[in-house]
Structure 1
Amino acid sequence: MGEAMSVQSFAEAGLERVPEKYVQPERSRPSIGGDGRRIPVVDLFFFDPARSGEVREALKRACREWGAFQVVNHGVPVDVIDRVVAAGEAFFGRTAAERRRFSCDPNSVASEGYGSRLLSADDAVLDWRDYFNHHTLPLARRNPSRWPDLAGYRAAVAAYADAAAALARKLLGILSECVGLAPSFLESAIGRLHQNVTVSYYPPCPQPELALGLQPHSDMGALTLLLQDDVPGLQVLRDGNWVLVAPLAGAIVVLLADQTEIITNGEYRSGVHRAVVNADRPRISVAAFHDPAKSAEISPAAPLLSGGSPPRYRPVRYGDYVSSWYGQGPDGRRLLDALLL
């Protein structure tokens, strides 16, 4: 990725107008404030068995109604969260030349490293963000020598990756139970868990009313855990309105993704979300994506099907789903809805 493709370079150059490739069509331009509602905040009580019934009910409701929620008392240490966010801030605080040392392959989607352009379609409107994508699970994919060699950076990313994976597995177990499946069902259906940790940097934007940090989409995998800094920007779609996810210190945002909706036959919904930008302050987020292997065959769970509850989605090979997502670009739930029977 050359420096001309770096959104941060535009902000640092003091541009007064958003380049044309980043201007959203009128119908897609953001409303900055949201509609005043809040997504659910679920207290996990550090997985205390005495509170398990209460937690299951709260999670079930959030998964069915929103597909997105924040969790507190989740067991991921605060210092682990603080260190990975600080690591992202440190990397994006380096010079352009230092950042470019870790550029990802611009011709390969979801490649590891530093980049800006995520989609393969040449005519796509681009997002106002830069990112660093780390391959973290399975461990055979994890090679910290490809990550920035700043003091503490590699250890911070690895520690957060491990803590996020442990939390994701616990949540998948509870979410399985919430729809009457065995605790291991969702993770078994997903297969060997693949995890990427992506640090996103949203620079100040001279015309935030014209651009988006991330265009509306639902995540394609199974479960995403997202950290926010103290700058608002994440929005979740509910009933046709965008709801701002207010940053909550120590909380982790959980976004259900498309394969979980398929496996639960629509009992849960994947969360459509986007990121808006602002003119004054940069924003950092850290997303831990938990996905199936590309070879996994995903279909509605057989125990949830019956004569009165037929399958709502066609089976799909996850690798094919990923290729379609990157080829066509984000568009709400378009890819998922294309699988409806």
Structure 2
Amino acid sequence: MGSVENKHLRLPLIDFSDLDPQNPATQKWAIARSQISQALEAHGCFEVIYDRVGPELRQELFGRVMPELFDLPLEAKQKNSSCFGKYTGYIGQIPGLAYESLRVDAAATVEGLQGFERLLWPQGNPRFCNTVWTYAKHMQELAKMVHRIVLESLGVEKYYDYHIQPKTSALRFSEYDVPLDQETKTGMFGHLDPNMLTIICQHKEGLEVQTKEGEWIHVVPLTNSFTVLIGEAFKVWTNGKFQPPIHRVNMIGDEKRYSVLFATRPSDDYLLEPLEELVDGDHPLLFKPLKYKDYITFRYSEEGRKCKNPLEGYCGVRSKVEA
């Protein structure tokens, strides 16, 4: 695949401003459903306008919360560990990248936030918790709407309660400093997300998404927009109908860049498998059932990191699944 940036390409932009999940039988809801289905088929992602996160909350996140978080000593940040591997808690000190990242599990719950707070600020930091909890709750509602609309577009809305209940979520805060490689301006290498859904809020440009043809779309954020990407777990669940996009970060300018990622994923005991309605003679079964936590353990193991396609290597039915 090539790596040419096409400055004329844009991700589909879908307006969620007036959508009411309590009243889905509207023309605007139907239009959004059609737009999302087309966007996921074409790109595996889209931009969404969502006004419930206002400029004040964004300024609090990017202007105070995140600089305060990343100014903590390295030994404090490294306490943010995970039993799933080195790339599922604190991430940093990667050769060639001026990048650090921390993850808050169950950020939309008081328990999850308080656990993170006690880890990094034993003396407490209620302002941090209040800001992050407010943001996470908004992202949780947005994620639920996206999941519901996608289920409707697939004709399997009957699974909504079953599908949404075993989901858990996390926030990932990322800081990109002045790139070490001034020629490539690389902030983060191209990669796929393993989870179900990722909602990205970036306060400065840098995110790029690769098309199926190998071109790169430069994502220009609006003051009220978010980027929604599906992950490998979503690919399993839809039996390959929707493909997760490769994405990366290329820095612009010589200032720090922050982003906040809200991700949904199956709970530890949830058995993830393709929906039976999406498997037939024209669409044969592509993936065996798996538990997400087991796949993550494999994906970040030495064996998994050697796989060109770790998802296929772990649970693929056929010898080759087109990525």
TM-score (norm 1): 0.77
Superposition map of 1:264-279 within 5 A: 264-278=238-252
Separation in structure 2 between the aligned mates of residue 298 and residue 77 of structure 1, nearest angstrom: 35
The answer on whether the counterparts of 1:217 and 1:331 sit within 8 Å (CA) in structure 2 is no
Deviations 1:60-79 (A, max 9, x none): 01111111111003544443
SS at match of 2:186: coil
- Contact 1:102–1:113, Cα closer than 8 Å, also in 2: no
The one-character-per-residue Cα deviations of 1:266-302 (angstroms, maximum 9, x if unpaired) are 2222122111234611110000111111332211101
**Identity of aligned pairs, percent?**
20
CA shift in 2, pair 1:206/1:218, >3 Å: closer
Which of 16, 34, 58 is residue 35 of structure 2 equivalent to?
58
2: CA distance between counterparts of 1:247 and 1:152? 26
Summarize the Cα distance change of 1:205–1:126 in structure 2 as closer, same or farther, 3 Å threshold.
Answer: closer
* Offset of residue 309 of structure 1: 2.7
1:82 to 2:59 alignment: yes
Once the two structures are superposed, what CA deviation does each residue of 1:191-233 show, in whole Å capped at 9, x if it has no partner?
522211111000002423356322222111110111001x221
Q: Distance in 1 between matches of 2:120 and 2:130?
A: 10
Q: Does residue 44 of structure 1 match 2:16?
A: yes
Name stretches of at least 5 consecutive residues in structure 2 with no aligned partner. 21-25, 319-323
RMSD: 3.1
* Aligned counterparts, 1:18-167, within 5 A: 34-48=6-20, 49-73=26-50, 75-91=52-68, 94=71, 97=73, 100-104=75-79, 108=83, 109=85, 115-117=91-93, 127-136=97-106, 139=109, 140-142=111-113, 143=115, 144-148=117-121, 149=124, 152-167=127-142
CA distance in 1 between counterparts of 2:91 and 2:66 reads: 15
Q: Separation in 1 of the partners of 2:205 and 2:174? A: 14
Take 1:132 and 1:274, find their aligned partners in 2: how far apart are those partners? 18
The Cα shift of 1:334 comes to: 1.8
**Counterparts of 1:234 and 1:333, CA distance in 2:** 23
SS at match of 2:157: coil
Alignment of 1:233-312 (within 5 A): 233-238=206-211, 239-278=213-252, 280-312=254-286
Which piece of structure 1 moves more, 207-216 or 176-185?
207-216
Would the aligned equivalents of 2:96 and 2:180 in 1 still touch at CA under 8 Å?
no
Contact 1:296 1:319 in 2 (8 A): no
* Corresponding position of 1:336: 311
Q: What residue is the counterpart of 1:169 in the other structure?
A: 144
2:183 aligned residue: 209
Counterpart amino acid of residue 79 in structure 2: C
Per-residue displacement from partner, 1:160-179 (whole Å, max 9, x unpaired)? 11111111111101110011
The counterpart of 2:288, out of the listed 314, 317, 324, is 314
**Aligned mates of 2:177, 2:305 — CA distance in 1:** 21
Partners in 2 of 1:304 and 1:232 — Cα distance? 37
Deviation at 1:249?
A: 1.3
Paired AA for residue 116 in structure 1: G
In the other structure, the counterpart of 1:192 is 166
CA contact (8 A) 2:80 2:119 kept: no
Alignment: residue pair count: 303
